[in-house]
Chain A
Amino acid sequence: MTVVIHKGRVIDPGRINGPADVLIQDGKIAQVGKGLAVPPGATALDATGKWVLPGFVDLHVHLREPGFEYKETIQTGTAAAVAGGFTSVCCMPNTSPVNDNQSVTEFILDKARAAGLAHVFPIGAITKGSEGKELAEFGELKDAGCVAVSDDGKPVMNGMVMRRALEYARAFNLTVVDHCECLHLSEGGGMHEGLVATELGLSGVPAAAEDVMVARNLALAELTGGRLHLAHLSTAGSVRMVREAKARGIKVTAEACPHHFLLTDEAVREFNTNAKMNPPLRSRKDVDAIKAGLKDGTIDAIATDHAPHADFEKLREFDYAPFGIVGLETAWGLALTLVDDGVLSVEQVVALLTVQPARTFGLAKGTLAVGADADVTIVDPDAQWVVEPEQFRSKGRNTPFAGWKLKGRVTTTIVGGRVVYP
């Protein structure tokens, strides 16, 4: 099958940013250039006024299957992904059972193939059952298709276990992803520790709960030479330490989520459980630091930490509601606000969603280079829209952005040369 996307502005960071056509043949990018002829029998997609981008890559999603299909399935999660322009998603292993062995990885990949929407790259567990004790079989996980390892949601508290993970992962060139949270410091907390928590009488999670683990992990990355990726940075301290570590040549990458660069703990007022996530929404100072980190390259990727929950789980006491919000279908519009605010260039935003996350886990994705898989996202940068959770393809409706007016909407998503959205 042959597709030509013509009359659009192609933005492939570091390669091209301007008017061009994209020719797709046999699921691969065949040619990118001006005034390409439409071969006979080819499907022509008119991208006038639109941007043609490499398909987005999300390093951090929770697809919930197996085990929590009432929250999300691989089918609904990847439908949400392509609706948000994501053609590749990396799914965290905190399913039930935990993805700590080949059979769970294969199950996920089978379901993803059956859904036929976005590419799914499973992340295996660091430890068996994500219990933080014995290492999972990285070799087997890698062979089965895992692209990284993480005990996301359950930080690896034992420093020796983390050291061994970073060392052992080197044999397979696997990246170790940590959710940095000292569980002793965060115990009982549901939001950022600061004035709002004080006023609401909620127990807080201090920024230091993240910072101490970032510091530990950076020291261990330096000691072992292992590839470390830090999930969802939320504090000014984290950004400062990662910046310094990168300057010293430590192999570390980091991601940030839209909610951490757009919202503060003020969003929790009225005990809004859709503003409850882990790490929590923090102070203005932290938000500014995350933006600075995105701007100067300290942070490599925008990830969503897409974490769907059922309505009844969020419709309850703040302390008892689960952490997490959905993000796949709002990420692009939210990320573009950074361009309007003058924080990032368009090319930087696109890079943070494509080539940079792909490089972080060594995925051959996020580019429109000739010969690459034809994963393409077409967006209308001027389309205004309102976030309506009822319209989501995800089963999760849990977002603090309901009612937000956003500019920039995904109009077409192509995976492997095939239009999968709309």
Chain B
Amino acid sequence: MSLKRKDLLGIQDLTVEEIQLVLETAESFKEVTGREIKKVPTLRGKTVVNLFFEPSTRTRTSFELAAKRLSADVINFAASASSVVKGETLLDTARNIEAMQADFIILRHPAAGAPNILARLLRASVINAGDGGHEHPTQALLDLYTLQEKKRAFKGLRLAIVGDIAHSRVARSNIYALVKMGAEVRVAGPPTMMPQEIERLGVTLFHNLDEALRGVDVIMMLRLQLERQGIALFPSIREYSRLYCLTPERMKLATPDVLVMHPGPINRGVEIAPEVADSVSSVILDQVTNGVAVRMAVLYLLSGAK
């Protein structure tokens, strides 16, 4: 079994069947990650390059572990300042890496669409590990996996995604994924954080968090990007927090067995109260665990395509 595509650039162009295939495959890899010896020879002799143009601990480590557990050789290319400052273009950097016979390039980049450009021009498989405000497909896949584990069916599942939708790749990938799978998706946040015509993606828009949370099965909180504050999307963290922080009181508006998700890293007390982050409803750490299995599945399924 394999995905009949070279690259994983986003959820938007995946079919429901492809998403299901990733989730099923992740299931068997999760079993591997629970073993004493957490390693299979599936990708022995393959080279995986983590090409990260933005700081990331969670995603990079997760991909690195996934690749290592599949027995691939992993290189972490710290593309941070060096080559970029010297004026090397993304394409030249990637071509150099490809010349070292990389089979997979896992790209994290601040510009939306950067993986799409590389995918068009390189032979290697390109996996999008987050591109600007565009997509973060493996995050959405691991979120789906976690939901399936806890809630089974997507159809009829009610979710609220809360925060800065406009600048969030996690929100976009999850909206594409969840709407495809038949869930009912609400988005909530101040109007300054909602992109134009967001409702045409099949979601319902709320500016009042309490209304958005009423009767939901899942709450997906987005990280408030404090570094974005200069653009003045909201007057103060204090006011944001008062209006949009997920508190224990607000949790009561949702269904009793509501799940709380967050792509991390969390700002305790800003978008999520510490009691909520640490509560039994929180599956934040399950998301991290499942991330490795899902990324193993993605690497495996793309390797078969070539």
Contacts and interface: CB of A to CB of B under 8 A. Distances in A.
Interface of A: 193-195, 197-204, 270-271, 312, 315-320
Contact of A319 (B89, B112, B197): B112
B132 A202 contact: yes
A202 to B, nearest CB: 5
Given A312-B89, A316-B90, A317-B109, A198 B196 contact: yes
A312 B117 CA distance: 13
Contact of B134 (A193, A194, A201): A201
A270 B113 CA distance: 8
B55 interface: no
B122 interface: no
Given A200-B134, A271-B116, 18 more contacts: A195-B196, A195-B200, A197-B196, A198-B197, A198-B198, A201-B135, A201-B169, A201-B172, A202-B113, A202-B133, A204-B196, A270-B116, A271-B117, A315-B117, A317-B113, A318-B117, A319-B112, A319-B113
B91 A315 contact: yes
Contacts of B135: 201
B153 interface: no
Contacts of B114: 317
A299 B66 CA distance: 59
Interface in B89-127: 89-91, 109, 111-114, 116-117, 121
Contacts of A312: 89
A318 B12 CA distance: 18
A200 B112 contact: yes
Contacts of A204: 195-196
Give the top 8 A-B pairs by smallest Cβ distance, nearest first.
Answer: A271-B113, A201-B133, A201-B134, A317-B111, A198-B195, A195-B197, A319-B111, A201-B112
Interface string B24-38: 000000000000000
Given A200-B134, A317-B114, A193 B90 contact: no
B197 A317 contact: no
A195 B203 CA distance: 13
Contacts of A319: 111-113, 132
A194 B197 contact: yes
B201 interface: yes
B302 to A, nearest CB: 20
Contacts of B167: 201
Contact of B112 (A194, A271, A315, A316): A271
B90 A201 contact: no
| A interface, over-half SS | helix
9 contacts: A198-B198, A198-B201, A199-B201, A201-B112, A202-B112, A271-B117, A315-B91, A317-B109, A318-B111
A184 to B, nearest CB: 11
Interface string B128-150: 00011111000000000000000
Contacts of B90: 316-317
Contacts of A201: 112, 131-135, 167, 169, 172
Interface in B253-289: none
Residue from A195, A201, A202 having most chain B Cβ neighbours under 10 A:
A201
Contacts of B131: 201
A204 B196 CA distance: 9
A201 B200 CA distance: 14
Contacts of A195: 196-197, 200
Interface string B170-208: 001000000000000000000000011110110000000
Given A195-B197, A315-B91, A316-B91, A200 B111 contact: no
Contacts of B169: 201
B196 A194 contact: yes
B12 A199 contact: yes
B230 to A, nearest CB: 11
A200 B135 CA distance: 8
A204 B283 CA distance: 34
A173 B282 CA distance: 71
A209 B111 CA distance: 22
Nearest to A187: B231
Nearest to B176: A199
B197 A320 contact: no
A318 B112 contact: yes
A140 to B, nearest CB: 38
Contacts of B133: 201-203
B193 to A, nearest CB: 12
Interface in B15-64: none
A275 to B, nearest CB: 12
B117 A197 contact: no
A166 B90 CA distance: 44
A193 B131 CA distance: 19
A318 B113 contact: yes
Nearest to B120: A270
A316 B117 contact: yes
Nearest to A268: B113
Contacts of A315: 89, 91, 117, 121
- Residue among A200, A312, A316, A320 with max Cβ neighbours from chain B (10 Å): A200
Nearest to A270: B116
B125 to A, nearest CB: 18
The CB with the most chain A CB atoms within 10 A, among B90, B112, B169, B172, is that of B112
Given A317-B109, A317-B111, A197 B116 contact: no
A201 B196 CA distance: 11
Nearest to B135: A201
A315 B112 CA distance: 14
A320 B195 CA distance: 21
A195 to B, nearest CB: 4
Contacts of B113: 200, 202, 271, 317-319
